[in-house]
Structure 1
Amino acid sequence: MSSRAGNRIQRLENNDWKFMHGDFPEAETPDFDDSQWYDIGLPHSFGIPYFMTNEFYVGYGCYRKKLYVEKEWLGKRISLEFQGSFQDTQVYVNGCLAGSHKGGYTAFIVDITSCVHEGENQLFIRVNNLWNPRLAPRAGEHVFNGGIYRDVSLIVTQPLHIAWYGTRVTTPEVSKETAKIVMDTEICNEAENAAQCRLVSRIFREGEEIGRVCSALNVSSGDTEIVSQEYTLCRPELWHPDHPNLYVLKSEIWEGERLTDSCETEFGIRWFSFSADTGFSLNGEHYEIHGANVHQDHAGWSDAVTHTGIQRDIAMIKGCGMNFIRGSHYPHHTYFAQECDRQGILFWSENCFWGTGGPKEEGYWTASGYPVKEEDEEEFEQSCLQTLEEMIRTNRNHPSIIVWSMCNEPFFSDIEVMEKAKALVVRLAELSHRLDPTRPAAVGGAQRGGFDSLGDIAGYNGDGASIFIDPGFPNFVSEYGSTVSDRPGEFMHRYQDGVEKNYPWRSGKALWCGFHHGSILFDMGHMGMIDYYRLPLNTWYWYRENLLGIQRPALLQEGIPFRIHLAADRTEISSDGTQDAHIIVSVMDEQGNRITNSPEVVLEVVSGEGMFPTGKTFVFSPERNNFIEGLGAIELRSYYGGDTIIQARSGGLLGDRLCIHVTGSVKPENRQLKELQPPPYLQGAPERKQLSNISLNRPVFCSSAHKEHPGKNVTDGSFNTFWYPAEEETGGWILVDLEGTKEVKSITLEFNAVMNGVYELALSDDRKEFRQIYLAREGDANSFLTVHLSSERARFVRVRFPGEAVGIVKIEVMA
């Protein structure tokens, strides 16, 4: 995919890369022999093929590619744009270090002008995903596969040009009658002489020009000018999830009669507000937000997701009747927000200052969210500020984005640095206001530690919805309903723990979570309403039936398998790394009905250059947890044109074939490709040195609570607070959610008075079935209890009082 506007060239460079796991600094030289390296295309992940394991490749990966420079480009600015590379990247051209970037989730640009020459040039990109105490995120429950996992483009411009993502469109005054459009354009002059030029800004709607503004300016050599222009539009077609109307701004720089640069910016016209009393309003009307959190990785391909994969994800969230996505918990591909604009989904774009519960040991992504060593603080804070700035600059024109979020659960930091973590959130919010005063700065995951009052909107996770009732400032349930479940799952909603009722002061709610995803924690990734292969669980069908009125599919039965059926969401894709085909495999009986029998099925590319994440074959089976109730799916892509023929076979059954046509140049006849192999080693969390309190600041739920003694007190780490049930309650209980299955070694209870009545300590995996591990009988007087366990896995810890309860100071779970 390439585009040419005026004298600007923008061309995808996703094809024809060489890659090898490991560190090869000597490969920067043009004459390095990379013949034994793998032939790959972008987007690419170190971990391919990756299927939700807790372990993943950690180390270096190196990329090489030939880049051809045309003679007429000399004297112009030549740059490489990276939409995302995780997470420490160095870019060499012809042995010259052209630039570097730290941070794994935002787009960046590298000027390679001084390093290139006419003809063939050698690119060498050196990337590592090593945990870095000074780089955000220091902690998170996702996986952190490295690699150039988003698109790379070549950009060629004249010395006088519009800066990279240099247009900003705002609509400070909007009504249903008129809209004031403000266009700020950043113009750079890197020529030797001053430039007398004109900026012409043209506004289009559905291909028709509807407005134009022209400004004359003089840009000195070496300077950058920001030109502000205004246009008033009558009867604007407003952007809304129900009618996502978009406009296009075409920005042109003219020197005399010569067009020197041009770029296009999609934007929408809308206004919105968050209120402490009335929630969220869009275009002057109250609007109920209901959506889901979305991680970015897909089965087999890990984080290396195509544009069509992003399209499918957004369409599936909207397809069950939801209208909102929280980008958990890092900036997503800029195409993600663009697609939210087009499909009509509100988007919460989040920075990657992140914390996670559990052990706080340096060296891995379970560390303290904020640095524990003073020498790491300044660089870490700069990392968070830089990522926020890059996220806002590259996404600021998207009407779907209604929130910039500073963080997620930053209170999962060591208590000694908690005040510094709070100060950083304040600093981030102030920067967000300076960079974009048109959107609020949210604090995601703010249910502990007083973080909720530090921004414009508080995002409450877990038990936050039940704790913070009408808090007096704009608020949102940024996570609810986390439930471990695999396909098919139960046909039911996940409204629980404070979101069962809608309140006028609450702006909305987001399910945890939309899709299964990779996680460094045991089963944290199995909480989606859609599985890793992008097939819905019954929960998704429940939401669709109840939000859209579309009845769920008829229940299927086992039968006599007769044949395998293949289908795809598209039968034509491009070879530039932006498109793939979602292949669906199902088992049919002789009458053509789908049945739930699940034999092993092998997919094979029998001709053509298409590939699965595992290469030319992919195996479905119940044992691999990828073929359930006679249904499975996987994504196929190709980096060369031509027809790809896929064959499905299963012992004793009729097979099927499917043709995917790939547009683009075909593979040279004599070229032999070296197929990518799995990474040479995997790395999980380092061996723990000592037991840790994994219940600290975890969600807490209870049968009731005294107003002054809420349930959250049992996990706040303080001996001065405690939980107490509502007066005269009998049969009360309190439950700690460890947010995923953990290996529990011991549990300690501390009461605020001597307890000589009956109580039960129990564990559960699903909050439905509990197994008793301790029962105190009448007369067993104590105020302190520790139960040691040999080998117990559990997610929930519950204390239940059949009779009268006493207060509990703490529930401490060690693992």
Structure 2
Amino acid sequence: MKITFILICLYSITIINAKDSPRNTILLDTGWRFHLGDITNGESADLNDQNWEQVSVPHDWAICGNFDMTIDMQWTQVIEDGDTKSELRTGRTGALPMFGIGWYRKEIDLSDVEKGKQISVEFDGAMSNAQVFLNGKFVGNWAYGYSSFAFDLTPFVNFGKKNILAVKLHNEDLSSRWYSGAGLYRNVRMVITNPIHVAHWGTQITTPDITTKKGTVDIHTSIKKTSTENENIRLITEIYDSKGIKVASDTRQQKGIEGINQFIQQIEVKAPQLWNIESPNLYRAVSNVYVDNQLYDKYETTFGFRTIEFNREKGFFLNGQKTKIYGVCLHHDLGPLGAAVNVRATERQLEMMKEMGCNAIRTSHNPPSPELLELCDKMGFLVQVESFDEWLGEKNENGYNKYFDEWCERDMEAMIRRDRNHPSVIMWSIGNEVREQKQAGTAHIARRLVEVCRREDPTRPTTAGFNFHTEAIDNGLANEIDLVGFNYKPYDYKVKHDQYPDMIIYGSETASAISSRGVYKFPVEERTYDWYEDYQISSYDLDRVSWGAIPDVEFAAQEDNDFVFGEFVWTGFDYLGEPTPYNEGTPARSSYFGIVDLAGLKKDRFYLYQSHWSDEPVLHVLPHWNFPERIGQIVPVFCYTNYPKAELFVNGKSMGTRTHDKSDKYKRYRLVWEDVIYEPGEIKVVAYDNLGKFAEEKIIRTAGKPYQIKMTADRNLINADGKDLSFITVEVLDKDGNPCPTSNQLLFFEANGEGKLKALCNGDATSQTSFCSSYMNLFNGKLIAIVESSQIKGNIEIHAFGSYLKEDRIIINVK
């Protein structure tokens, strides 16, 4: 069985204040006032809000708060973790003050010139239970904090006078099982159009035929008409390539009616450049709406040509080429920046995943920010967009289960209409590990959601992530979707493949290995749910949760069962909340699952995945070589590499060569020297190529006493837009310049010039220091300082000092 989908995808981007454009899109990012806590008549236009906090949007009201392990303390049974009764949980949602009510207010000026225009407001996401008011009057509400939505403000506008936009949000206690963030955490826009204009998310593009010679583009455009006059509407759609050259156009005209007018166009593009992972070629469709030869609206859409096919026996094909999905699951938070969307922070995460060899993202477990998908389009990632973590079955007392019946179809429609044209998006997920899997008679719920998907976008398959996969099959849920996702079932791929001849299978959530960056525990052996007194986990990458597996097991299952089209690892980055295995009464408040830690520093596991997924040469050696307490004892050495052979030297003495051993679970993807006796000095691994010749070497030396601070910026030049970021890696070195891998000194930071210190993070899941502090302890020799630009060109000087170490300064240019 195979499922083939041929389409062209787009991401709708309206022109912001474009010259000669009748559409005016204004980003509502500054001038907001915020009040935490409920307030009587918070929506009133006459309310004095001058004492409220001044904030910019996107804004997460909780991320700069102090950690408090009692904030999210609860007794609950987490069936997904194997709990058989209610257990104490702490840090489950990050131990930050994200619950409660918050008010946002902003003054908006709309002159008399705008009379006769349509005024709307668009929210990319508001966490959560948003109620929107203009001039004290209720405009509308939206419950789900991850959905994008828009409201018509026109009936409530006072043209030529002051207008007050107010938003009330209510993040309920016990509403999430991870850190959701709180507030207007995604972008907000005001859109001013003529009475005849392209509707919200009003373009849908598919390609029924793509060859090397031509691509046939079907464009469905919804044009909204609020006037009652009998005008003729003319739509001219122009297509431009990535160089800005117009490559095709088409004109359609029809008599307009009040309401939605549907225009269907078919346009041929010669020799289309395909969108793919290596070359994500993008095009633009420009929709020009004319009434009586006057331009009424201009709307731009970015899209790309590509085909997708899922085959039961052969896997996944992109543009006819077999492609294994090497994916990761990502939560929406950006570590120390919280849930507030930032383009550069999102881009940096994707850059690191790309470097690792990752080619796909699962937006677990909710619709993502538009910025994430736009970046995936540009950078060449495949995406599974996921909708819900709950249906009617309750995981959280005040979770989405309370809203599902009333809101699920509207939320699915909003997700698909917004995202259905991204070339990066290849499947829709209707849910993750929903409790209904184990309940007979619930297949109709899956069917209801799938019907929405197929109605809104028949070009992509549907999927879901099942941790109780056998029950989901028996109860009919799996039969309703196109692609059956197994969460943590590498041992069952072949069994189910043989049992169900029509089933297309993949690893929707895999591994759940756990580790702390730079921590090494002895003896070195595979462990499940071990509890250490320091609340850390070994980075030998042999620790896992009870339901999961070490990465090597999933690697083998994917390789040995070629019909499995890929995997999504849990998770690409550590995230706030879910500090498994230290869920019960500990200082841990963020996860250990990440391949990269919360600060964005690579764990050893990064290189294990890179050595398996990437085509670039990889040679990584662990552990560090600072174990004074283990002199004369065994310290195994691991090497993650895609070279065929390597040799280990300890203080110049060969410990022998190693090659990958397919017959050994632990040595198929790792080179291992189990019996190395520790002595200070250096270890060196020399890699050899297929001809047995020297290829590369890595040396790790025992560090001396901490002596100096060193800062290295990922970018020394950033934009003067008040939002751009530089991520500065801070580490401690000895006098000879060797990294000190066990240093945990307290460092202080000062920022002067055209920017500010935005956040600090050391990647330690137990750290109780606020991310917005100006000081923080190193964790195993490193931390990250994040610097944000102002809107003025100049320089930012960052000064790091403390603990009798030689200080360091670094300059970031802002232009």
What interval of TM-score do these two structures reach, taking the shorter chain for normalisation?
Answer: 0.7 to 0.9
CA distance in 2, matches of 1:458, 1:634: 41
Residues 579 and 592, structure 2, Cα contact 8 Å, conserved in 1? no
Alignment-mate amino acid for residue 425 of structure 2: I
Q: Secondary structure at the match of 1:46?
A: coil
Name the CA shift for 1:124/1:556 in 2 (closer, same or farther; >3 Å): farther
Which of 250, 258, 282 aligns to 1:246? It is 282
Partner of 2:766: none
Partner of 2:565: 507
Asked whether 1:657 is paired with 2:809, we answer: yes
Asked whether 1:227 is paired with 2:227, we answer: no
Alignment-mate amino acid for residue 209 of structure 1: K
Q: Secondary structure at the match of 1:268?
A: strand
Name the CA shift for 1:362/1:510 in 2 (closer, same or farther; >3 Å): closer
Partner of 1:598: 744
* Deviation by residue 1:763-805 (Cα, 9 ceiling, x = unmatched): xxxxxxxxxxxxxxxxxxxxxxxxxxxxxxxxxxxxxxxxxxx
Alignment-mate amino acid for residue 784 of structure 2: A
Equivalence map 1:444-455=2 (5 Å): 444-445=465-466, 447-449=469-471, 450=473, 451-455=477-481
Partner of 1:346: 382
Q: Secondary structure at the match of 1:645?
A: strand
Name the CA shift for 1:195/1:565 in 2 (closer, same or farther; >3 Å): farther
583-592 vs 308-317, which moves further:
583-592
CA distance in 1, matches of 2:197, 2:388: 31
Name the CA shift for 1:361/1:462 in 2 (closer, same or farther; >3 Å): closer
CA distance in 2, matches of 1:320, 1:302: 24
Partner of 1:484: 514
Residues 234 and 254, structure 2, Cα contact 8 Å, conserved in 1? yes
Shift of 1:516: 0.5
Partner of 2:410: 386
Q: Secondary structure at the match of 2:306?
A: coil
Name the CA shift for 1:657/1:38 in 2 (closer, same or farther; >3 Å): farther
Which of 275, 300, 316 aligns to 1:280? It is 316
Shift of 1:506: 1.2
Q: Secondary structure at the match of 1:90?
A: strand
Asked whether 1:211 is paired with 2:244, we answer: no
Alignment-mate amino acid for residue 13 of structure 1: L
Partner of 2:551: 494
Which of 586, 591, 606 aligns to 2:731? It is 586
Asked whether 1:398 is paired with 2:422, we answer: yes
Partner of 2:352: 316
226-235 vs 433-442, which moves further:
226-235
Aligned residue pair count: 636
Alignment-mate amino acid for residue 648 of structure 1: A
Residues 206 and 219, structure 2, Cα contact 8 Å, conserved in 1? yes
Name the CA shift for 1:99/1:576 in 2 (closer, same or farther; >3 Å): farther
Residues 23 and 191, structure 2, Cα contact 8 Å, conserved in 1? yes
* Deviation by residue 1:552-603 (Cα, 9 ceiling, x = unmatched): 3754643343332333333454576653332321223445554433321112
Residues 607 and 646, structure 1, Cα contact 8 Å, conserved in 2? no
Shift of 1:336: 1.0
Which of 201, 208, 212 aligns to 2:237? It is 201
Residues 558 and 564, structure 2, Cα contact 8 Å, conserved in 1? no
Alignment-mate amino acid for residue 95 of structure 2: E
Q: Secondary structure at the match of 1:4?
A: coil
CA distance in 2, matches of 1:617, 1:657: 18
Q: Which runs of 5+ in 2 are unaligned?
A: 1-14, 68-90, 519-538, 543-549, 582-589, 621-697, 760-769
Partner of 1:3: 17
Name the CA shift for 1:577/1:93 in 2 (closer, same or farther; >3 Å): farther
Partner of 1:551: 619
CA distance in 1, matches of 2:560, 2:295: 55
Shift of 1:638: 5.3
Partner of 2:708: 563
Asked whether 1:462 is paired with 2:618, we answer: no
Name the CA shift for 1:94/1:576 in 2 (closer, same or farther; >3 Å): farther
Partner of 1:539: 605
Residues 199 and 215, structure 1, Cα contact 8 Å, conserved in 2? yes
Alignment-mate amino acid for residue 343 of structure 2: H
* Deviation by residue 1:471-501 (Cα, 9 ceiling, x = unmatched): 4311110111111211132368713257353
* Deviation by residue 1:207-231 (Cα, 9 ceiling, x = unmatched): 11100111112212x2211111011
Residues 564 and 654, structure 1, Cα contact 8 Å, conserved in 2? yes
* Deviation by residue 1:105-136 (Cα, 9 ceiling, x = unmatched): 1211122222223253222111011169xxxx
Root-mean-square deviation over aligned CA pairs: 2.7
46-55 vs 31-40, which moves further:
46-55
CA distance in 2, matches of 1:71, 1:535: 53
CA distance in 2, matches of 1:2, 1:574: 19
Q: Secondary structure at the match of 1:155?
A: strand
142-151 vs 379-388, which moves further:
379-388
Asked whether 1:60 is paired with 2:117, we answer: no
CA distance in 2, matches of 1:62, 1:583: 34
Equivalence map 1:130-149=2 (5 Å): 130=172, 141-149=177-185
Partner of 1:135: none
CA distance in 2, matches of 1:312, 1:218: 48
CA distance in 1, matches of 2:198, 2:102: 33
CA distance in 2, matches of 1:64, 1:241: 42
Q: Secondary structure at the match of 1:558?
A: coil
Shift of 1:609: 5.1
Q: Normalising by structure 2, what TM-score?
A: 0.73
Residues 513 and 527, structure 1, Cα contact 8 Å, conserved in 2? yes
Alignment-mate amino acid for residue 539 of structure 1: R
Residues 602 and 617, structure 1, Cα contact 8 Å, conserved in 2? no
Q: Secondary structure at the match of 2:248?
A: strand
Q: Which consecutive segments of 4 or more residues in structure 1 shift more than 6 A?
A: none
Partner of 2:53: 38
Which of 616, 620, 631 aligns to 2:782? It is 631
Name the CA shift for 1:660/1:84 in 2 (closer, same or farther; >3 Å): farther
CA distance in 2, matches of 1:533, 1:526: 12
Shift of 1:651: 2.9
CA distance in 2, matches of 1:598, 1:269: 50
Residues 465 and 509, structure 2, Cα contact 8 Å, conserved in 1? no
Residues 22 and 296, structure 2, Cα contact 8 Å, conserved in 1? yes
Which of 776, 781, 804 aligns to 1:620? It is 776
Partner of 1:699: none
Alignment-mate amino acid for residue 103 of structure 1: Y
Partner of 1:442: 463
Partner of 1:79: 120
CA distance in 2, matches of 1:352, 1:428: 11
Q: Secondary structure at the match of 1:295?
A: coil
Residues 234 and 289, structure 2, Cα contact 8 Å, conserved in 1? yes
Residues 100 and 173, structure 2, Cα contact 8 Å, conserved in 1? no
Name the CA shift for 1:522/1:464 in 2 (closer, same or farther; >3 Å): same
CA distance in 2, matches of 1:628, 1:109: 43
Residues 604 and 617, structure 1, Cα contact 8 Å, conserved in 2? no
Residues 392 and 405, structure 2, Cα contact 8 Å, conserved in 1? no
Residues 480 and 496, structure 1, Cα contact 8 Å, conserved in 2? no
Shift of 1:195: 2.3
Shift of 1:45: 1.5
Residues 32 and 105, structure 2, Cα contact 8 Å, conserved in 1? yes
172-181 vs 309-318, which moves further:
172-181
518-527 vs 12-21, which moves further:
518-527
CA distance in 2, matches of 1:465, 1:382: 38
Q: Secondary structure at the match of 2:305?
A: coil
CA distance in 2, matches of 1:412, 1:528: 28
Which of 216, 219, 226 aligns to 1:190? It is 226
Which of 137, 153, 164 aligns to 1:122? It is 164
Partner of 1:708: none
CA distance in 2, matches of 1:13, 1:602: 34
CA distance in 2, matches of 1:129, 1:562: 46
Residues 603 and 646, structure 1, Cα contact 8 Å, conserved in 2? yes
Q: Secondary structure at the match of 1:510?
A: strand
Partner of 2:526: none
Partner of 1:432: 453
Residues 15 and 577, structure 1, Cα contact 8 Å, conserved in 2? no
Partner of 2:326: 290
Shift of 1:630: 1.9
